[in-house]
Amino acid sequence: MPLARIALLATLPLLLLPAAADAQKRIVGGGPTAPGAYPAQAHLRIDLGAASLSCGGTLISRTKVATAAHCLDAANYALPLVVPRPVAIAPERVTVSLGSDLAGQGDRQVASAVQLHPDYDPRTSANDAAVITLPQPATQQPLSVVDPAVDAASYATGRPAVVIGWGRTTDGGQASARLLEVEVPVVSDADCNDANSYAGSLLVDVMLCAGLPEGGKDSCQGDSGGPLMTRSTGVLKLAGIVSFGDGCAAPQKYGVYTEVGAAAIQGFLATAAGAPPKATVDAVTGAVAGRATTVRVSASDPTPGGGIAAVAWDLDGDGAFDDATGLSAPWIPTAAGDQAVRARVSDSDGMVVVAERVVTVAARGSEGTAASPSVSGASAGSTPAGSTPAGSPPAGSATATTTTASGVAAAGGPASQSGAAGTGSGRARLATVSARGVRGTLRLRGTVTGTTCRAARVRVTVTRSGRRVARRTVAVDGRCAFGAALRLRGRLTIGLELLQSDGTVTRLGSRTRRVS
């Protein structure tokens, strides 16, 4: 019998969980997640009367949570141990918590329905999948489910995968109060079914393995039902469900997961939770760096009576869908080359799909415009149009700065009167910039030169530990000054871009500050 990865939260006769005493009880080799990093993660508390059990789950629509069937099979918790077939536990025994990295905290709902995969076999763990229905729509963002037609590479051998859960942190110890994560590679079916691993018992049509041959990283008890996620179209997607393992993190004994992309699992999820929307980002032609264009997505909902509820865009490749909304959106490519644009499409049930299009962006001036003026036509001491004066910084770079007594970083020389007045002469660049952290507030102010200031804006992007935490676009006034105040703490990297009225985007550089 496979060793299921359920965590016992209170004293219960071991006859009810014969595998519990044999398995190491923790997410192994990982660490705590960043706060709020996985909003679709669900904590399940299963009430057995004298005791309770803990499992994980994944919000895949506003009212549906995917998990493992063995977590919700009442036959697992009944005497005698051997029963004819699985029986779904009563929904009122299942409490689902969402929106917190702490186990059992956040928004809580008691399930209104529980559905096991009709072909779930507890003897082999085949089709170990179930869906919980919530009585009220959740406010958290659901996780996209892999689509085999688009995400086939999600199951490639060696593909990095992320597993999260509240499994126990020491063998025989207490369950983790904080959500943990570990990264493990996908393992080939052949290696997982090797004589030193599962010796041919793995049902490759509906199962996959992940882990290291030397062990050391794995999911374990308390993580059952939680997600194994792989990245595709720029985002993490639900690719597997924690099912079982022979011990935890032992050499050659990989973690085994229900393969969400398998036809039998896809069909069950579509029936129990609904089919996700379909979406394709339309082809974009004639894209030029620094010039505005339009991106569009074609989307439909295959669910009868459904519809598309929302579209959000990631146009700068940072993984956050906060750049635009709607079926079409304006886009200004920032550089020449191949750039990915992504649309996150949600249907009326909250199911999500992410569509991606890689667009080839031409360099500005290379799209067949009139010939440039002859250099010989320039007067002595002048600079040909479109070139950079000697000693000037390249377009989009920040000038060298020194800090004045007032704490304002000034450019290497005073801004010219014409630049300060915003005549648009020369190259757009920072003249001064100051970034200070005071009592949990990042205060930013500065001036630009070389642009028509009254029609310009500055886009401020703030990241912390590589993750974007804020973005704001502020106006540049008639004196070419701008400012912003953001409530943030920690070591922050502040990126600045100048958005000009003709669609040109100029990178002004970045600063790093610590705000306490």
What residues are annotated to the active site?
A: 70, 128, 224
CA distances from 373 to 135, 289, 291, 377, 390 (A): 69, 21, 22, 7, 19
DSSP state of 317: S
Beta strand segments in 326-480, E: 328-331, 337-347, 352-361, 401-403, 409-411, 429-438, 441-449, 457-464, 467-475
CA–CA distance, 257 with 211 (Å, rounded to integer): 11
User: Looking at this protein, which amino acid is placed at residue 506?
Assistant: T
**352: Cβ contacts below 8 Å, ≥ 6 apart:** 141, 142, 143, 144, 276, 277, 344, 345, 346
Identify which of 447, 452, 460, 453 has the alpha carbon closest to the alpha carbon of residue 507.
460
Q: How far, rounded to the nearest angstrom, does the alpha carbon of residue 495 sit from its chain's CA centroid?
A: 21
CA 239, 243, 244 angle in degrees (round to 5)?
135
Write out the DSSP string of 342-386.
Answer: EEEEEETT--EEEEEEEEEEBPTT-SS-PPPPPGGGSPTT---TT
First vs last Cα of the chain: how many Å apart? 53
